Structures are given as C-alpha cells and as structure tokens.
Structure 1
Amino acid sequence: MTRSTSLVNSFQQLRCQQAYTRITLNQFTFTEVNSVHASARKVVCCHFSSDGKLLASGGQDKRIVLWYTDSLKPKTTLEEHSSVISDVRFSPSIPRLATSSFDKTVRVWDADDPRFSLRTFIGHSTPVISLDFHPNIDDLICSCGMDGKIRYWSINNGSCALIFKGGMTVVRFQPHHGRYLAAAEKNIVSILDVETQACRHSLQGHTKPIKSVCWDPKGEYLASSLELWNMSQNKTMTLSAHEGLIAGLAVSNVTGLVASASHDETVKIWK
C-alpha cells in the first residue's frame, strides 16, 4: 500500500489556503475554472453524477444542492434532513443519489426529479457519517455511523438487510467489481468481503484518525492519504485553494474535473 498511500495524501494537502488560480509544473496544470458561494455555513461533502453533468454538495445548513457542472448554477435544493449533511453519493448506474446526516437517517432521491426523497432509512442510533452505492447491485447501499456499525440497505423494499461492525468515518465500495468494501475506523482501513463480511485485509500505518479513502477507477488500488509531488525537485507541492479547510473532494471520471467543498462556504471546480 505504499504506492497508493503516497497517491492520496494530495487533495488533503489543499487545506486552509487562499483562493488560487493556476499552478503549472513540468507540464502539470491544475486550474480553478469555476467557484460558487454554496452556503451560509460550512460545506463538507460533494460528488459528481456518473455522467459528470451534475455536482451535489451538502453541509452544515442541512441542505443538499444539485449544481449544473458546466455553469455551477443550482438545479434544485433538497431540504428534508434535520441536521448536518455528512455525505452525498450518486449511483454509478441509475439516476439516484443518497445522502447521510447527523439526524441518524439515510435518504435516497431521484436525481431527475428530486422534489422529495424516495426512501428514508432509519436505524442508526448515532449520526450517520458516510454511505455509498454498490456499483453493480442497484438496490444496495451501505452506511456507517459513529457507533462503528455498518448497515446494508435494500432500496426496493426499504429495509435494513444486514448490520455488522467495522466502519465509523467512511465506507466505499470497490468500483466496477463491488466485491470489497473499504471501511475506515480510527486509524485503520479494513477491506471487507461484501458477501461474507469477512475482513480480508487490515491496513495499518496511520497514526491519526482516517477521514477519507478512495479507490482508483479500476478498483485495483486504495488510497487513504494524498500528496502532490514535484518529481524533478523531489518534494511535495502545496496548492493554494480555499480560505478554509477542504472537507470534501470529488473527481468526475467522464470530464476529469475535480470539485472541492470547503468550510469557507464555497464549492470550486478544478481542471
């Protein structure tokens, strides 16, 4: 995991910096292409739709905003949660999105007609911190809460299919295959078998709590930290991006755009 760990410390290095326009280094270019004041309070999560046309963001104002990616104009606002929005994810295969909240619920929405949620899942006894759609099973989502319990939910029948221990801060299904679930609790990432819930790998090495994990698009590598490296000078690069902490990052596999959500109440698009 040395290679993957070295790969994802980078977006978390984009923290607590001033607004910035462009960095070019040995033909590597990372440019801010759009920005919007997204909320009156801290924004903590964001995610692109599978076609890259929409970006969802959420945070402390209890709302989820759907933005048109090309203009960062709002499409609609979802307002059924009663507390902080902790995570938002689009389905990789159908026009749905799911949201988790400190109100201890998970909601599923029709991305094409999100006037009200299709499902509200109740069962977590603590704030829900993270969730994700299974890449192949449209009916299945998972979520984790502060109590360290992971729940599998069936969207079709509106029930909890399974509960087990193993994740507190983030859960992410392996892309494409969906055989494994990466779940972080404290300073350990567990790779869980989705069918048996057996822990296949326990990835240790972090000395502080893990806040996020990310699979590569093929589902072969997993990263739990990220750094940008200047290879010619053999040193890390710090990219000025936001005036507040960057709490959420998303990448569109279709457009290559990167979105950042920050405690400075803004959402930015980068390329």
Structure 2
Amino acid sequence: MTSNPIQPRHVLVGHTNWIYDAVFSPDGKRLATGGWDHVIRIWSTDSGKLEMTLRDHSTEIYCLAFSPSGETLASGSANNDSAIRLWNIANGTLLSTLTGHQNVVHDLAFAPDGERLASVSYDKTVRIWDWRNARAEMVLQGHEKQVESVAFTPDSTALCSAAADTITKRWDARSGKLLAEYPALLPWAHTSAFSHDLSLLAVGYGHRPPGSRRPKGMAKVWNLSDRQVLHTFHGHRNWIYSLAFSSNAQQLVTGGWDGSVKLWDLRRGVETSSLENHIDVVRTVAFSPDGRHLVSAGYDQRACLWEIQ
C-alpha cells in the first residue's frame, strides 16, 4: 500500500448540499457532479474550473450518465419527481424529460452504441428508453427489492441490473427477455457496480464484527460467469457506500462512511492506496476512462480529483 499521502489534484467546491454522483465524460475532459442541492455542475478536469451549471430539477439528483459521444448528459432524480432529464452539454439546454418511474431513479446507463438508455429505480423496475425520441420502449419487472445499478454489455445487446438484495438479472436489450438470474451474494448491500464487460459484480456493505459496536466496511467481487467470489476486501472503518471498477477491470475503488477512498488491485487482491481528504461520507467514486484519474465526492459537498498514475 502507498505509504506517502496522495493529495487531490483539484478540490471542486460549489455544491451547497450532499453530492450524490460524479461522472467523467467519455474523453475524460469534463466531470459532471450532482446531488441534493438540485443542481448539476460541469467542470474541466484539466483546470478544475466550473464550466456550466444546469438547473431544472426540483428534487435531489441521484445519478448521472454521459452518452457515448459525450454530447448528452442524463440525470435522474428523487421520488418527489422520479424523472430523467437529458441535457445538451454544448450549450446547457434541457433536451427532454423522461417520466414513468414511481420512486428514486438510482442509476443510469447509455448503451455503448448510443441507441438506448437504461434506468433503474427504487420502484423495483428497469426501464429502457429510446432517449432521442423521449419514448419508453419497455419496462422490465422481476426484482423484489430496490434496483441500484445497471450496465450494458459492450455490444449493447444485453444489460444487467442488480438490486439491494444483490440478486442480479441479465436481460436481452431488444426484447426485454430475462436471459439469466444470479442468486444473492449477500442479504443486502449498500452499493453495487459492474465491470465494463459485465463479467464482474462488486458489492459494498457493512458488517459488525463479534464484540464490536461499530460496523466495518467490506467489499466482495463476484465472477458472474462461474458465480464465485474472487475477492473479499476489508479496511474501511465503517460501511462502504460507493465503488467502481476501472475500465480494464484491474482495479476497484471504494468510498466509505468513514470518509476514506481505497484502491484495490484485483490481480493481486490487495489494497494499494488509501486516499484521505474527505471529512464526511464518500457517496460516489469513479475512474476516468483512461484509468489515470479518479473522482470522489459526498456529504462534505466537495469533489476531489485524484491523479493515480
């Protein structure tokens, strides 16, 4: 593990409430952040300067996703609105609003071919949208708990969704047919994420060791093809509240209720770095597309941009 403290390249300040999501544009030149102040901010990753502020949400923003071209940003909101908004990033205009979910929109994913947008919600559904025409194509049902994460396969033909009970489902992206269901890895998880090729699922949660009053964070990485646990990671002093794979699936980053960010080498199964700058819960983490940078953000209303390579 790295012994010398790593400092953020930029600390982005401007949000006035919790930051719930932060995502890099496909070219890595921009970062979008959104949260409980109902505002989306677009930043330059090079200079750290604020480029644009997007305002139209009337409730908390839970999730963000860039289209593959980087020209459009999707944002999903809380249960007083439960809408998805699509933004033109060139000029900051609102393109359309997608409605249909009945509770928090918790995660969004564009298909790599750019044709479809998938959303998942606390209403236990997965929805697939023809986003350019602001039209719902299908509603996928079957999860029994709130759905927390979604991702498409690289060829855009299938997608996977994971619920809070860690039951994962694989769907045909065109027909909506259920292709496979993977049994629960844990009774409950606070966060989950898929690798880029959908071969791996990571889940984060907290457990209370015998004799301890305080939970400690734990993450598990699961190989979906053979349904085996590859790694179990310990180290956070409280729940793990966010995690993400690098694009090559060789690293995992986790953010915790303890305010720390940890990097894990998935080839060796070890912690490589612990990044300490936040003073509150780290609600979201993400790698840049080239894997050289990562972002962490959360309840301290700041986003930290880290250079890790």
Normalised to the residue count of structure 2, the TM-score between the two structures is 0.71
Superposition deviation, residue 185 in structure 1: 1.4
Displacement after TM superposition at 1:106 (Å): 0.3
SS across alignment from 2:132: coil
Q: Paired residue for 1:117?
A: 94
SS at match of 2:57: coil
| 1:73 counterpart = 2:49 | yes
The whole-number CA distance in structure 1 between the counterparts of 2:25 and 2:71 is 8
Which residue does the alignment assign to 1:106?
Answer: 84
Question: Which of 168, 178, 188 in structure 1 is aligned with 2:166?
Answer: 188
Does residue 1:204 correspond to 2:170, yes or no?
Answer: no
Which secondary structure does the structure 2 equivalent of 1:144 belong to? Answer: strand
The question of 1:257 aligning with 2:309 is answered no
Report the alpha carbon displacement of residue 223 of structure 1 after superposing the two structures with TM: 2.5
CA-to-partner distance for each residue in 1:186-240, whole Å, 9 max, x for gaps? Answer: 2224131223431413142223234231314x44433334544599997786542
Cα deviation per residue 1:78-115 (whole Å; 9 max; x = unaligned)? 1111000000111123411100001210011111121x
Where does structure 1 lack aligned partners over 5 or more consecutive residues? 1-22
Does structure 2 conserve the Cα–Cα contact (< 8 Å) formed by 1:166 and 1:185? no
The structural deviation recorded for 1:255 is 5.7
Unaligned runs of 5+ in 2: 205-218, 220-232, 234-262
Q: Which has the higher contact order (CA 8 A, sep 6+)?
A: 1
The CA deviation at 1:256 is 1.9
SS of 2:9's equivalent in the other structure is: strand
2:117 aligned residue:
141
For 1:58, the equivalent position in structure 2 comes to 34
How many residues end up aligned between the 2 structures? Answer: 244
Question: Secondary structure of 1:206's partner?
Answer: coil
Q: How big is the shift at 1:254?
A: 2.8
Per-residue CA distance 1:6-64 (angstroms, 9 max, x = gap): xxxxxxxxxxxxxxxxx725xx9855211122311111100000000000000000000
- Find out whether 1:174 has 2:183 as its counterpart: no
Aligned counterpart, 2:202: 223
Identity among equivalent pairs (%): 25
Distance 1:213 1:229, change over 3 A: closer
Out of 245, 252, 266, the position equivalent to 2:281 is 245
2-structure distance, mates of 1:233, 1:159: 43
Task: Tell me the C-alpha RMSD between the 2 structures.
Answer: 2.7
Q: Which has the higher strand share?
A: 2
Q: Counterparts of 1:243 and 1:119 in 2: how far apart (Å)?
A: 36
Aligned equivalents of 1:153, 1:188: Cα separation in 2 = 24
- Asked if the contact 1:47–1:250 (Cα under 8 Å) also holds between the matched residues in 2, the reply is yes
Structure 1, 121-130 or 259-268: larger mean CA deviation: 121-130
Report the residue type matching 1:256 in the other structure.
R
TM-score using structure 1 length: 0.80
Correspondence for 1:83: 59
Distance 1:51 1:232 in 2: 29
Could you say what secondary structure the match of 1:156 adopts? helix
2:107 is aligned to 130
